[in-house]
Structure 1
């Protein structure tokens, strides 16, 4: 796990080394174990981490190392092929690198280290871009071909590892985080008004698009894609992986389905335990993290460490956490999550993330990552992805019911679907779209009325209001399948992976989500709906596949809590006065994004218990802290 950055100049050779060093320093938290730079000027290649070399170059790569696999000195980058034509910087982990290395050795390749980076470089040389389909893991990388001056960028199938880029009048700049781009003198960070409007006016599920970011002009490399920048500055992209809606697997019986999922999950966890350091697990009281924990305990030859968020008030899952831990020898750490130092901590989180936070979960996640790092761990497994793959949310019942009843049209027109599924149903929803305008695979949302419309500034609303284009290739597979795909591609998974990467890497910790192994994802979307929702039980196939490994008390839970930070209570009591002070003299007001009077009114209503406005308060506070962070960085 590392941080990467790079620059290509369109206007001939320019001073590159000092810029690359500054960019690398901005993400030193991602790689405290080493820094490497390389610049290219014609046939000349210059390596080193010095910022004092002022000689011009037309391209350069930078890398920060966090050593996880092999010796630290073996992982130093950028790396090159023996002939010096291909140079690569790589961020991530390839979990099947052992098997790939054996295959490449059989093809005549020699290996000088025990790192997955060397495996990826040789795989790229052997198979070209087809190598990405062979990798099992998470990654973002850049390969520069000196002979053709072509820069290739690639990102893992699900977008677990980030990769941003921006094109200026004279340069193409890329990096692992948005802040690294700002290290280039031609890049200015300006808020994206449309995305900011969607964040404030609608539910967080309505914010994400494939390439867009919270900043004007800054884009993301799409998951499962390869981008190529040629010597003339032309950028092209192609997909190397996608889910195929025509791929449907109907198991011979229930046992075949549960055994196949169990086999894949155990193997996904096993290969994600590969590291030169101890691996821990984030454990809540739910089925997903308990399944990962049980599988990790089975794969571990020593005791397993778990880290769990605990709350003095609100939703605490202590009894279920204890059930899972009871059968696992090892070190178990409870992390108390409270309102102490709330605002300063939230300010640090927003600055680290470069964006406003979507949900309060990430406050707890930050505290967990701090504890993981302080206990000396560099790798931790998570349970993210199980709900989106196997239908674990309450609103999934509504889509399944609509499918089975054949009365989805009535449910939509009567508003019953919204009542069943809760506030997250939007015009982008597959059921709503199917019975409204029949737009086919391309789903372009209509503008919906804004939440807290009286808070939003008039000019800001007029500028920021826009629809959002999304493509749902699972539309014809039914309402539930389409909803699950939408959550995987656009809604919950993208807004989980981004903050998970930032929070963990802020503490030089790597998170690995076994459920997002592409083999499990492909299996989940090939399975018929009845294996996910059966007899009123969500995630049925997952629960049954882990029977005997995970305690029945956890598997048979009917409720779902997750990590629910009790901010609604905190905003009424412990931190109310501090939040009021921030919002009373806010940049968000000065810039015309919101109006001061209604914000303070809603804050007071919340304090008195006359309304529950915690989500609005959370969003206004996050945008304010984000704007302050930008102002401080300017």
Structure 2
């Protein structure tokens, strides 16, 4: 078993098992007496001193040692009491079993495989590829899932693009006995906590800001340069503002990065509720904090192929959407050049800190609170919400029901192969349940018992572990997202959904919480920024490169079997006609449909060529 990424640093023989640690992973070697467990631990625990005190351990104990004694004190579900971002492997000498675990929000990856007669695991797929007996051949079902946006069922194991390599789900521990018996435990169950009841909804806002501030504090490194990604959105702005405040207390600077379009664009032609340049509002945030250096990064800051290749090489799979990869990569390159050790961001806020209360109407209807529902509808209508939108939010029809409604309205939801350039015969042979309609743009299906349960399903649906590995491996910096903080999420799930928009204004709770931290212009802005708003202009400039890649894919047996290359060629040939029509349709076609396919094809081709070398 190997945790971490890099050169092997130490190895522990554990009876019939071996634990290996690399780079910054910590190790605890037990004994046959009071500590009969061995641990390799990748990541960190927040507020480690409190855990040490609770377990009566020296305050300078390593994470691995704390994990060992937490297991001895609290049993296999001890991770429920650990707050942090981590993965671990633990060998119990008494029970002769291996215990694997990941943090609640899947921030640190952990993969495993079952070669014949054994079990092995590693923090990245590359640690398992080449291991004797591990089937590292491509998983065609997983490729089809990527190209069709098919989500795994909650009860399924998490597959990868490698057939014999699986990912342990976040918030779970896995027990593997010496006799090969296995049991998986879901230790993170926050929905059982009672809802918070307050006299004034503004108390929720105070609690929200306090939780966000704590999430920022525990993630900031004790030393070294810190950077942040700053858009005009609420989440990255709030994270940047709080980070700047904490660093100012320590007389430390913050580098804030904002992507800026190279070309002038009318974003409303692409998305009616968007604007094109996020720099002006982001600059107002930066100007509030004297210790912030605000840096503009062009949307074409990095070579497209280099960005996609590095990300797919480290993450072990295709990168998907190509839209933001150039400036995202450019920000990381500049931050590395300056010596940044941490990059702060706010990717998970839509269903946590800056949640808009979208399931509030649904909750009121399901619980039969008719008068509060009427008041909520009136409040939202008074602030410009459309009746069609509110009725949809009140009933939240399933994907199939929405398709029937659209047919009655003589409108059609996009079909699978209108938006996917996967070959139909490849999809049909993948073994996936066949979907007629595309999942693009639809609300992810989840637990419909309540708005909080549905949100929790969405929150848990994402796994960003390998993106963190990308930043550590390729850029030598930590990826930090306070909006994905476990304690913050648990707080947000205890706040009634309708309390996030108590007077009918979207994200009202967040606006109240950060009214002293962010400029009024940003909090009052009704529109949202469109990242890479000049994507179509950048795409057009790269048409020769897209064509060259298509020509190379035509020589790839694997890409030719997975992708409908003739349709890809026709879509590229149709560029003049598409760009002369609806720019919204063109943006979807070339960013999602063509972009997802070309990224997948290049990934497959490079794997094929690497095998031939």
Contact kept? 2:135, 2:162, Cα under 8 Å = no
In structure 1, C-alpha distance between the alignment counterparts of 2:30 and 2:350, rounded to whole Å: 42
Structure 2 residue corresponding to 1:272, chosen from 219, 244, 248? 219
2:450 match: 477
Aligned match of 1:352: 314
**Residues 1:5 and 2:2 aligned together:** yes
Question: Are the structure 2 counterparts of residues 159 and 191 from structure 1 closer, same or farther at C-alpha, using a change threshold of 3 Å?
Answer: same
Alignment map for 1:14-33 (pairs within 5 Å): 27-28=5-6
Cα 1:365/1:534, change in 2 over 3 Å = farther
Aligned equivalents of 1:527, 1:568: Cα separation in 2: 41
Q: Is the aligned partner of 1:319 residue 2:280?
A: yes
Pairing 1:371–2:334 present:
yes
Give CA-to-partner distance per residue, 1:31-65, whole Å, 9 cap, x none: xxx742314264xxxxxxxxxxxxxxx42222222
Residues 206, 38 of structure 1: alpha-carbon distance in 2 compared, 3 angstrom cutoff: closer
Shift of 1:540: 1.5
Matching of residue 601 in structure 1 with residue 570 in structure 2: yes
Structure 2 length as normaliser, TM-score?
0.79
Kindly provide the CA deviation profile for residues 67-121 of structure 1, in whole angstroms up to 9, marking residues without a partner as x.
xxxxxxxxx64322365732211111211112222333xx3x335x464444333
Q: For 1:252 and 1:583, how far apart are their aligned partners in 2?
A: 62
Deviation at 1:402, TM superposition (A): 8.8
Deviation at 1:127, TM superposition (A): 3.0
2:440 alignment counterpart: none
- Residues 167 and 217 in structure 1, CA contact (< 8 A), matched pair in contact too: yes
CA contact (8 A) 1:365 1:503 kept: no
With the length of structure 1 as denominator, give the TM-score of the two structures.
0.77
Counterpart of 2:58? 110
Q: Quick one: distance in 1 between partners of 2:20 and 2:387?
A: 49
1:196 aligns with 2:143: yes
- Structure 1 CA distance for aligned equivalents of residues 480 and 469 of structure 2: 10
Check the 8 A contact 2:257/2:296 in 1, yes or no: yes
Residue matched to 2:112: 165
Correspondence for 2:511 among 543, 552, 563: 543
- 2:416 maps to 450
2:458 alignment counterpart: 487
Question: Does the CA contact (< 8 Å) of 1:36 and 1:78 recur in 2?
Answer: no
| Pair 1:578 & 2:560 matched | no
How far apart are 1:183 and its partner, in Å?
Answer: 3.5
Q: CA deviation at 1:497?
A: 5.0
What runs of 5+ residues in structure 2 fail to find an aligned partner? 266-275, 367-372, 378-385, 404-412, 436-442
CA-to-aligned-CA distance 1:154-209 (integer Å, 9 cap, x gap):
0111211111111111321211111221031322323322332232234x778997
Structure 2 CA distance for aligned equivalents of residues 459 and 341 of structure 1 = 34
Match of 1:336 among 292, 298, 306: 298
Is 1:38 matched up with 2:15?
no
> Is the CA contact (8 Å cut-off) linking 1:303 and 1:329 kept in structure 2?
no
CA contact (8 A) 2:258 2:294 kept: no
Q: Residues 478-519 of structure 1: CA distance to partner in whole angstroms, max 9, x if unpaired?
A: 4xx4553332122xx33x554344345422211122122222
- The verdict on how the C-alpha distance between 1:101 and 1:276 changes in structure 2, with shifts beyond 3 A counting, is farther
Alpha-carbon distance in 1 for matches of 2:529, 2:576: 24
Aligned residues: 549
- Residue number in structure 2 paired with 1:50: none
Q: Deviations over 1:300-348 (max 9, x none)?
A: 2123313313222353311122111112233443333306522233222
How does 1:184-583 map onto structure 2 within 5 Å?
184-202=131-149, 211-244=158-191, 247-300=194-247, 301-311=250-260, 312-313=262-263, 315-330=276-291, 331-338=293-300, 340-359=302-321, 360-390=323-353, 392=355, 404=373, 431-432=397-398, 449-452=415-418, 455-464=421-430, 466-467=432-433, 474-478=447-451, 481=452, 483-490=454-461, 493-494=462-463, 496=464, 498-561=466-529, 563-564=531-532, 566-572=534-540, 574-583=541-550
- Partners of 1:419 and 1:170 lie apart in 2 by 57
Q: How far apart in 2 are the matches of 1:435 and 1:77?
A: 51
> Would the aligned equivalents of 1:155 and 1:161 in 2 still touch at CA under 8 Å?
yes
Distance in 2, matches of 1:222 and 1:383, equals 22
Q: Indicate how the Cα distance of structure 1 residues 625 and 247 shifts in structure 2: closer, same or farther if over 3 A, else same.
A: farther
Q: 1:620 matched to which residue of 2?
A: 597
Q: State the superposition RMSD in angstroms.
A: 3.7
Q: For residues 627 and 578 of structure 1, what CA distance do their matches in structure 2 show?
A: 17
Q: Is the 8 A contact 2:134 2:165 kept in 1?
A: no
**Cα gap change, 1:346 to 1:137, in 2 (>3 Å):** same
Match in the other structure for 1:141:
88
SS in 2 for 1:187: coil
In the alignment, the residues of structure 1 paired with residue 504 and residue 135 of structure 2 have an alpha-carbon distance, to the nearest angstrom, of 51
1:221 deviation in Å?
0.9
**Mind listing any 5+ residue stretches in structure 1 that lack a counterpart?**
7-23, 29-33, 43-57, 67-75, 409-416, 438-446
Q: 2: CA distance between counterparts of 1:515 and 1:137? A: 13
- Distance verdict in 2 for CA 1:153–1:571, change over 3 Å: same
Q: 1:378 to 1:116 in 2, by over 3 A?
A: farther
Change (3 A) 1:511 1:583: same
Report the 3-state secondary structure (helix = DSSP H, G, I; strand = E; otherwise coil) of the residue aligned with 1:244. helix
Q: Report if the CA contact (8 A) 2:102-2:169 is conserved.
A: yes
Task: Quote how far apart the aligned CAs of 1:236 are.
Answer: 0.9
**Is the contact between residue 80 and residue 86 of structure 1 (CA under 8 Å) also seen in structure 2?**
yes
